[in-house]
Structure 1
Amino acid sequence: MYKIQANASGTRNIEVSDRHLRTIRKYSLLSGLVDSNGIVDENILDKLKFNIRGLLESEPGKDKELLDLCLDVIYNQNMKAIGLGNLVTLYKQWSADHQDADDPEEGSPMAE
């Protein structure tokens, strides 16, 4: 379990699990989200929410993990732009540490 700071003063945090991060990877939710300037603001957070809402409407009730990610993290009452920026940073670090974990075939003797 990871904690991201959700506000500038550090009084609000959001817990993020490996399952949440795997769901972000599964749907590529953060790919292309942040512009080339690297600034994460409320408009970027709204864009993510709209993208997720579209996914949920196209597959109603089919993915509990996506719904849990929404309830626990993205639509959390404490989530603000700074929290999303910290989530992006956490995801990049987590993704680098777990890049081979989602591909069990790679590196295994069976793949050769």
Structure 2
Amino acid sequence: MDISDEHLQTIEKYALFQHLIDSNGIVDESVLDKLKLNVRSLIASMEENSKDLLDLCIDVIYHNNMKAFGLHQLILLYIQWERDKEAREDSEE
């Protein structure tokens, strides 16, 4: 499964990982199901073009290989991407 910067930007744009994981910090199938429901609800409620969100669903969230472990790895990748982005912004200042 290939994760692009566009996918990560979409996750950031819609804050898909905020309040996703319970206080126990465990990423399991119920967390993946919660993400899928959140995304489905977002798409249903949107009036504007949501191509970026649909692409994320097709390429990542609803990918055949996306399981709890894959979601955990995606969350870790997103955290690293955020840190790298902040470091780039700090170095530009």
Higher mean C-alpha deviation, range 91-100 or range 34-43: 91-100
Where do 1:70-109 residues align within 5 Å? 70-99=57-86, 107=93
Q: Which runs of 4+ in 1 moved over 2 A?
A: none
Uncovered stretches (5+) of structure 1, i.e. residues with no partner: 1-13, 108-112
With normalisation by structure 1, the TM-score equals 0.75
Q: TM-score, normalised by structure 2?
A: 0.89
Distance 1:68 1:60, change over 3 A: farther
1:68 and 1:45, CA in 2 relative to 1: closer, same or farther beyond 3 A? same
If you compute each CA radius of gyration, which structure gives the higher value, 1 or 2? 1
How many percent identity over aligned positions? Answer: 55
Structure 1 counterpart of 2:17: 30
3-state SS of paired residue (2:2): strand
Structure 1 residues 49 and 31: alpha-carbon distance in aligned structure 2, compared to 1, 3 A threshold: same
- Unaligned runs of at least 5 residues, structure 2: none
Q: How many residues align?
A: 91
Higher strand share: 1
Distance in 1 separating the partners of 2:44 and 2:60:
18
SS at match of 2:22: coil
Task: Write the mapping of 1:58-73 to structure 2, written as runs, cut at 5 A.
Answer: 58-59=45-46, 62-73=49-60
Local SS of the residue matching 2:82 = helix
- How far the C-alpha of 1:61 sits from its partner, in A, is 6.4
Aligned position for 2:30? 43
Q: CA-to-partner distance for each residue in 1:12-63, whole Å, 9 max, x for gaps?
A: xx11000000000000000111112110000000000000000010116611
Q: Which residue number corresponds to residue 44 of structure 2?
A: 57
